[in-house]
Structure 1
């Protein structure tokens, strides 16, 4: 049972988890830990911290300077610093600089440093192992630590992740399974097994989850949710409780003073705690989302208690990982193993849900009949269904210049969003559109690089960045834009995953420009509900933007047609109807005996 601790005891347990997590990361990869900490700071504090480190100077402090450039997203300065130090840096300093370069997505220069440094140097084997791991070379990373390094924490961590990636783990013991004998589910109760959630993050993932929970409740079901092991304490929320209630929806937390070492043992710990919660709450169906880590834990618990489980594919995380590396990443061992686990998850689930047709085709290629895949596209609700406010009023409330022309996005600021192409398009337009501004609402790893790029393009005075904003302000920021832009790069992940942000912009009656990619073409009809533009082509984007900005009537008609389509076709209520039908088909609407079978698998798809 997931017992609630008194507030002081819970904070003490959370503090223990935080200290142990920080200690683990500090010992495994201190450079990545430092970058993650700085990236979670508010934008101004992050910039100040990065600049302070970058100003540390050369000599013994060169590693700190390199870390500052990495945190600030200045690859040119980072590369120049490292090359200036190569001839005079000690072997240990070269190893530390290589670690910074690998963490900063500059592995080629890291390879140069490590190749020119004696392999017996302190920390060399760990740095080379991290370099292999960055490239998805799992066996090579372990081999380096086995033949050159000392048996230690990093090798143990890589071994454990390798065991998890190769599959076949037994997560629950016979004793755990015996506890589930005689399980009686509560009809119409659904437990969503999530990665994260409101109120501790406002990500698109969390927004979608919450919208679906509310909509299925309106459809007559009783949804609750639980987030991943250790979350949100691991992201710095020390005062997290064992449960939160948001709009009447209960979100459970799986909190413990310490996580077990190794990914394989941690998955087993996750499964045991989830089983405790399931035995307490008695759901009739479990519903989880990508990626495969959620799936294997959910599957183990569902099989133990004898209820069906649903796997919702919201993205292609292997492709997301590969998008920050070169094309060879898709040929790596890590990518292949990751994809194998995802394929196994969709084939073993009692039902599969996904966001769009492109993703459904990929799932079908893994062996799930296309007719059995339920589409649950991203949608809108709440404030986005209300009559949109006037743009000038929205800008006034947000403190923006009412007379300016705003193009931009409300999004996570990551490289595959292609916002560098938007800045380059803005630089093309800037000389003839003096009132043009680029508004980027959100935060992410690519924000420092984009700020630096704006300086290089001479439009830093045109760039407005907000960092993370409260989710209640998102509709206002959508309405404040003259043109909403989704200039995504042409990658596997962007060709198949349909994002939520253009739908929210369309519901806000904003003319919406998107990259001409298959997933985005599913939601934008070119010239009718928006404009599709060739990806990674700043000149084409500049031309499309100027056409819309120069024709207010056309812009208005695009926005009105977009809103009409979204309101008619893409609401959370319509998705809830699909879920209700799916859950009923799985037998979760009525009382029924659910004794686990001899194999632990009481259902087959389509039963």
Structure 2
């Protein structure tokens, strides 16, 4: 029975897209008969969760923890993180005896895993979920072309070149790596997916919540997530006055929070459509489905930049699985998931008037909704279901393990 050790930045019980993808992978692998565990680095505590336990079971999944504190100025601190995490991974390997290391970005995790793989003669699969230098630009903590951006990119290249195989979540990331000189045959695409047991049933509207939010009789456009600049929520807010001219019943419901929250609220205060925009704030994860149930169209107006052009998001897939109509900007990450007019609607990124025009057309043609929703749901079930997605890892694991066994025997 194959034993897989996942090397992670952070994990459950924290809630993030990173954690949910990890959970889905691990649970699907266990269901397929593999033995699976994870080990998290020192940043698990920095994300706001400290268990104090070296081994923790969350939702039936085992996670080994790295409890050492690391300090110092950048980049000294990062090198210390790698050293500490590398030592902890080696301890877990000796204790748990995995057949293969499956490290997940960022590159710091990959560097720590690469040290252990080389030292203990284990095969290493390195998975990239996003280029983290681009993610830093997207969330406002980095600048494209800066020394830190360049260094992060070089570290990623080093891990990719040192790993036995590479996995990415979408074709955009694969194409970028190929342009960097990575052999196509070294890269496997394991796309984002949905656990249909968690998202497979459409949520009925919560009439009490609808009344509390004063949404009765409204056509509700919804967004649930983090308010980063790259999400393009300012463009969606700017589109609302144009949309209301054509569809007075349209109402925008924004659920979540983040770095752009203050600026977005200030924008709404000066908008002619301010009465048609509601901020619900951050809500407990257990309540998210109640808000999904009130939304007629889930809208994802991401801006065009390297991060969004290359990386596919998870939330549109979850919305499709929920039986929600999806409308999104026509950036590369969305085009890989949504076929305009068939599984959803695509509108030009960064153009409030064109966004409004596409949304108005959608609201005026409700007869087409059931077919679009059904087509999108079938797409998720067939091509983005985790029970089938994890099968893409299996031949890679088998090949790497067999090759390493051959090398040892030679």
TM-score w.r.t. structure 1 length?
A: 0.62
1:215 is matched with: 28
1:291 and 2:106 correspond: yes
1:377-409 CA distance string (max 9 Å, x none): 111114455331334669559967343221122
Match of 1:270 in 2: 85
Quick check: which has more Rg, 1 or 2? Answer: 1
Q: 1:42 maps to what in 2?
A: none
Q: State the match for 1:456 in structure 2.
A: 270
2:387 — aligned with what? 573
Alignment partner of 1:525 is 2:336 = no
Q: Is the 8 A contact 1:305 1:594 kept in 2?
A: no
- Trace 1:194-205 onto structure 2 (pairs within 5 A): 194-199=8-13, 201-205=14-18
Q: What's the offset of the Cα at 1:250?
A: 0.7
Q: Cα deviations across residues 314-365 of structure 1 (Å, max 9, x unaligned)? A: 0122122234669x94333222222111112112111111111111101112
TM-score normalised according to structure 2 size: 0.91
CA contact (8 A) 1:193 1:287 kept: yes
Alpha-carbon distance in structure 2 between the residues aligned to 1:560 and 1:393: 24
Distance 2:194 2:208 in 1: 19
Equivalent pair of 1:508/1:559 in contact (CA under 8 Å)? no
Deviations 1:41-78 (A, max 9, x none): xxxxxxxxxxxxxxxxxxxxxxxxxxxxxxxxxxxxxx
Which residue, out of 260, 275, 279, partners 1:465?
Answer: 279
1:206 aligned partner: 19
- Does structure 1 conserve the Cα–Cα contact (< 8 Å) formed by 2:122 and 2:404? no
Contact 2:138/2:228 (CA < 8 Å) preserved in 1?
no
Equivalent residue number for residue 64 of structure 2: 252
Q: 2:204 aligns with which of 390, 396, 407?
A: 390
- Using the alignment, how far apart are the partners of 2:348 and 2:255 within structure 1? 23
What CA distance in whole angstroms lies between the structure 2 residues aligned with 1:215 and 1:400?
40
The 3-state SS of whatever aligns with 1:330 is coil
Deviation at 1:572, TM superposition (A): 0.4
Distance in 2, matches of 1:393 and 1:578, equals 42
Larger helix fraction of residues: 1
Structure 1, 502-511 or 413-422: larger mean CA deviation: 502-511
Relative to structure 1, the CA distance from residue 514 to residue 219 in structure 2 (aligned partners, 3 Å threshold; closer, same or farther) is same
- Please report how far the alpha carbon of residue 449 of structure 1 lies from its aligned counterpart in structure 2 after TM superposition: 1.5
Going from structure 1 to structure 2, the CA distance change for 1:393 and 1:539 (only over 3 Å counts) comes to same
Instruction: Count how many residue pairs are aligned between Structure 1 and Structure 2.
Output: 406
Q: Is the 8 A contact 1:318 1:338 kept in 2?
A: yes
What is the alpha-carbon distance in structure 2 between the residues aligned to residue 528 and residue 553 of structure 1?
A: 13
**1:288 and 1:298 in contact (8 A); partners too:** yes
**CA displacement at 1:552 relative to structure 2:** 1.6
Change in Cα spacing, 1:246 to 1:466, as seen in structure 2 (3 Å) is: farther
What is the distance in 2 between the residues matched to 1:339 and 1:245?
34
Distance 1:196 1:203, change over 3 A: same
Cα 1:265–1:591, aligned 2, differ >3 Å: closer, same or farther? closer
Question: d(CA) in 1 for partners of 2:146 and 2:231?
Answer: 24
**Whole-Å Cα distance in 1 between the matches of residues 197 and 6 of structure 2?**
24
Matches of 2:40 and 2:214 in 1, distance apart?
36
Unaligned runs of 5+ in 1: 1-186, 603-607
Quickly say closer, same or farther: Cα 1:336–1:579, change in 2 above 3 A: same
More strand by share: 2
Q: Deviations over 1:106-161 (max 9, x none)?
A: xxxxxxxxxxxxxxxxxxxxxxxxxxxxxxxxxxxxxxxxxxxxxxxxxxxxxxxx
Instruction: Provide the rounded CA distance (Å) in 2 between the counterparts of 1:283 and 1:434.
Output: 59
**Paired residue for 2:53?**
241
TM-fit CA distance, 1:246: 2.2
Aligned residue for 2:217? 403
Q: CA deviation at 1:480?
A: 2.3
Q: 1:296 to 1:397 in 2, by over 3 A?
A: farther
- Cα distance change on mapping 1:321 and 1:386 into 2, 3 Å: closer
Task: Label 1:244 to 1:451 Cα distance change in 2 as closer, same or farther (>3 A).
Answer: farther
Q: Which of 530, 550, 572 in structure 1 is aligned with 2:364?
A: 550
